[in-house]
Amino acid sequence: MANPKREHLSLICDISELSNLMSESKDIDNFLQQVVHLVASHLNADVGSIYLLEANSGTLVLKATVGLHPDSVGRVRMEIGEGLVGWTLEQMAPVCEGEASRNPRFKYFETSKEERFQSFLSVPISYGSEKTGVLVVQHTDANYFNPADVMALKAIAAQLAGTIANARMMMTLNHAATPADAPTMPEGMQMFKGEAAVNGFALAPAMTMRSSDPLMEDVADDQFNAGLEDFRAAMAKTIGQLRQLQEQMVQRLPESAVLIFEAHHMILKDTRFVQQITQLITDGLPAPAAIRHAARHVIDLFEKSPNAYIREKSKDVEDLVRRLLFNLRKNPTTGQSPMDGRIVIATQLYPSDILKLASESVAGLILAGGGVTSHVAIIARSLNIPTIIAMYANLLKVPDNTLVLMDADVGTLYVDPSEEVRRQYDQRNRALRKTAGRGVKMVPETRTRDNARVHLMANINLLSELDLALELKAEGIGLYRSEFPFIVRSDLPSEEEQRLVYERLFNKMAQRPVWIRTLDVGGDKILPYLDMLQEDNPELGLRSIRFSLRHREIFDQQIRAILRAGVHAPSLGIMFPMVSSIDEFRTARQTVRQAIAALTNEKLPHHREPKLGAMIELPAMVEIIDELAREVDFLSIGTNDFTQYMLAADRANKHVAAYYQPYHPSVLRALARIIQRAADHQVPVSVCGEVAHQKDFVPFLIGVGLRRLSVDPQFLPALQRTIRAMSVTKAEEYARQLLSAATVAQVEKVRTDWAWGSDRA
């Protein structure tokens, strides 16, 4: 019997379903059992099973099933390559058989009682580059599963991969081993000057993320409730908080689409961990001491593991224990967690840290060492978390609960601010609130004073920024930075997960054009779950389109996801970053054409004629711009990287930052040439770098013929005011004078003479 038609796009596991499974399951075994019920239900299958790879033996073991005989759990074991299940993991590819017993690789286990199930479908489960297990569904009817089922099961496996990897980790670790047995700062107000990474203001108690005190040992024992019922109540409260925080995070950052607290849940579902704490309390140890004792054992096991992923999970144990202890306190402060409403001081933060802190509604972030990468700052900005980089080691000695005032608009922070300082900032903030909202009204069309039409687009990092872009009447998305769904996760997003993200983007923008930049990683944007090369000079290494063309399976999945998500988009543009030759563009273009052909063969709805463009970020493209313009549908100039590569100056390097000069005559002339050649070939061209919103650079761009600018949404109102105040005639004269300058000094004189923004201009 053929499989009845099912709408698989609605069958993919919802994040709330996974969160509910973890919250409601009694332990890890019960969680896995609920997972197979969910999977079998989603695919209308008679059997659902999970096989996990034992780390110590390298054997696949049946860990949970619905449909097979319950006695087979733990007893059915196969080597990699053995049977259809082992073959799935060896090949790291799906296996779909209409009559499984006819396949010579089929292996029958009498205990499983599976002889009546004919159709067999399995997909591998992997986390990063690590093989984790196999997900299987079966049905009594022959030829029941079809290609759509294969795609659906692959998508579900991808969504479950991280959670199952954590479950496998907790089941594998040997908990039977025998466990082994606050800084101060001078009092009085202190002021520090740092670098503003994300604008904003906060006045709140401090919480320092210190590795020296991960288990709250600086809190006196008499501050905690100590009994067994107190521990159980703290457990229940912690599980509820984790579930609520997860739901809030998915709303704020849909790209995460991942259970960021999955390891926390798995630890709480580990019966041995909970039983050890319970036994210690029963034997007379106070609850806080029992929790710390059991936690140290798990942390020690994690940190001694040869597996880097497991070693990293020791931080999750510390975080979980802080939450449990916080919920054990007799007089807890207001808030849902130890860091709720606090200004967090840390040495270094990663995207995963930002997600967890954002879910706890921290008031602000202070980076006192280690710095902040550009993508971490972008995530913090998108989540509206004021952030300051202040390289002062003694900030890490600020006692918890010390009042801190941070003005992230200018990078100033005060530890234990005086009443006078607080009063001054209160007055300033009241004045700002009175003027908030003024001057942000925008008209739908942007025109110069002499009526030349200019299109204003938005640069988008995260979906949470779309509302502001629409509110400010952006005419479309000129740059969607597609790497953030990769960066904010702890594993590679599947094709289906990417499709869901892009679909929200297209749906939100309705009839407006959307230009998506393909994956731009490398340089300072590292994906820790991939085995990326350690390069001496990553900015000149395997990054951007080079990375995608090297990792074709990742590139193919992304292109397919974009095409499927944009099936109804009226104007879909795909642009390739850091293109260095026409040959490279043609190779990337061929990948898109192959994806369209494959999707057509698979009868999957998709966009059939996307516009294909190139990002101009390398000087190499200037000399071949005419030939490139004949190949592309549009161009986008990334002036940040273009200037950096043109002048061999890293603007983030304080030693050479002065050499990074967008007003360098060579940069100006190269930009003018690109824009004018694109116009000659009637190819749309936009500028999406920082100069696109600078008041005295925009007239130059308009003066050399640019009519499309793409900026971060918050810059749109000021940019429109700048354009509406200028005339094309004056902008053209300004551009002619800049282009005639041969030195930086001469350029500066022209800029000073014109003084855009003043009454003279």
Q: Please indicate, yes or no, if residue 439 is contained in any of the structural domains.
A: no
Tokens for 734? 């300004």
Tokens for 607? 């966009």
Instruction: State which residues form the domain around 542.
Output: 446-754
Q: Please indicate, yes or no, if residue 184 is contained in any of the structural domains.
A: no
Amino acid letter, residue 99: E
| Catalytic annotation, pick one of 13, 139, 664, 688 | 688
Overall average pLDDT of the 305-331 stretch? 78
Catalytic site includes residue 264 = no
**Is 490 found in the same domain as 597?**
yes
Overall average pLDDT of the 732-736 stretch? 97
Q: What is the pLDDT of residue 174?
A: 44
The three-state (H, E, C) secondary structure of 242-270, written as one string? HHHHHHHHHHHCHHHCCCCCHHHHHHHCC
**Is 551 found in the same domain as 456?**
yes
Range in 334-348, 678-692, 735-749 with the lowest mean pLDDT: 334-348
| Sign of the four-CA dihedral 202, 206, 210, 215 | negative
| Catalytic annotation, pick one of 375, 455, 664, 693 | 375
Q: Which residues contact 435 (CB under 8 A, 6 or more apart)?
A: none
- Where a domain ends, among 120, 137, 172? 172
Q: How far is CA 669 from CA 585, 611, 628, 662, 742, in A?
A: 24, 28, 18, 11, 10
Q: Please indicate, yes or no, if residue 535 is contained in any of the structural domains.
A: yes
- Where a domain ends, among 384, 411, 434? 434
Q: In angstroms, rounded to a whole number, what is the distance separating the alpha carbons of residues 572 and 595?
A: 15
**Is 623 found in the same domain as 486?**
yes
Q: How many domains does the chain have?
A: 3
**Is 337 found in the same domain as 402?**
yes
Overall average pLDDT of the 92-98 stretch? 93
**Is 422 found in the same domain as 285?**
yes
399 neighbors 182 (Cβ within 8 angstroms) = yes
For 590-609, what is each residue's pLDDT tens digit?
999 999 999 999 999 999 99
Tell me which of 299 and 121 has the higher pLDDT: 121
Q: Please indicate, yes or no, if residue 551 is contained in any of the structural domains.
A: yes
For 368-391, what is each residue's pLDDT tens digit?
865 555 566 777 777 788 988 887
Q: For the chain, give the percent of residues with pLDDT over 90.
A: 46
Q: In angstroms, rounded to a whole number, what is the distance separating the alpha carbons of residues 698 and 756?
A: 10
For 724-759, letters b (16+ CB in 10 Å) and e give eebbbebbbebbebbbebeeeeebeebbeebebeee
Question: How much is the pTM?
Answer: 0.70
Tell me which of 541 and 639 has the higher pLDDT: 639
Q: Which alpha helices (DSSP H) does 253-349 contain, by range?
A: 262-268, 271-282, 287-304, 308-312, 314-328
- Where a domain ends, among 376, 400, 434? 434
CATH code for the domain of 244: 3.50.30.10
pLDDT at 110 over 60: yes
CATH code for the domain of 664: 3.20.20.60
Q: What is the band of 634 on the pLDDT scale with cuts at 50, 70, 90? A: very high
Q: Please indicate, yes or no, if residue 368 is contained in any of the structural domains.
A: yes
Residue 13 DSSP label: P
CATH code for the domain of 126: 3.30.450.40
**Is 318 found in the same domain as 245?**
yes
**Is 395 found in the same domain as 515?**
no
**Is 194 found in the same domain as 167?**
no
**Is 462 found in the same domain as 419?**
no
Catalytic site includes residue 293 = no
**Is 202 found in the same domain as 161?**
no
Q: In angstroms, rounded to a whole number, what is the distance separating the alpha carbons of residues 112 and 641?
A: 59
For 449-505, what is each residue's pLDDT tens digit?
999 999 999 999 888 889 999 999 999 999 999 988 887 776 788 888 899 899 999
Q: In angstroms, rounded to a whole number, what is the distance separating the alpha carbons of residues 574 and 592?
A: 9
Which segments of 592-677 are extended strands (E)? 611-616, 634-637
Q: For the chain, give the percent of residues with pLDDT over 70.
A: 84
For 533-564, what is each residue's pLDDT tens digit?
667 777 788 889 999 999 999 999 999 999 99
Q: Please indicate, yes or no, if residue 760 is contained in any of the structural domains.
A: no
- Which residue in 252, 236, 250, 269 sits closest to 17, CA to CA? 250
Q: In angstroms, rounded to a whole number, what is the distance separating the alpha carbons of residues 446 and 448?
A: 7
Residues in a beta bridge with 252: none
